[in-house]
Amino acid sequence: MNNYEGLFIIKPDLKEEDVKNLFKALADGVTKNGGAVTKEESWGKKQLVYPVSKFKEGYYYKLDFTAPANAVTKLEASYKLNQDILRTMITRR
């Protein structure tokens, strides 16, 4: 099991309840693939440096977790399919 850090930028036009449900779904995806969430941080809505998909701001969410190496590729593939996620970056710590 390796330690990872995931940073996500979520669309700013979602309702607050939908954003919380999406945060929960991101964490659940880690546990479903054999990982464990160690820390979750919601940084709120922030201005983007440059427009992403015509959005100038987004909700930032940071997720620290442990998972097997093969789970990360599955997670990245599933996160790319979600249209509410503007950007995803998962790095090994």
Q: Is residue 78 part of a domain?
A: yes
pLDDT band for position 41 (cuts 50, 70, 90): very high
Domain ranges, residue 74: 16-32+67-83
Length of the chain: 93
Q: Is residue 21 part of a domain?
A: yes
Share of the chain above pLDDT 70, in %: 100
Q: Is residue 77 part of a domain?
A: yes
What's the pLDDT at 90? Answer: 94
What's the pLDDT at 69? Answer: 86
Q: Which two tokens stand for residue 8?
A: 């996500």
| Structural domain total, the chain | 1
Q: Is residue 26 part of a domain?
A: yes
pLDDT digits (tens, 9 = 90+) for 5-21: 999 999 999 998 999 99
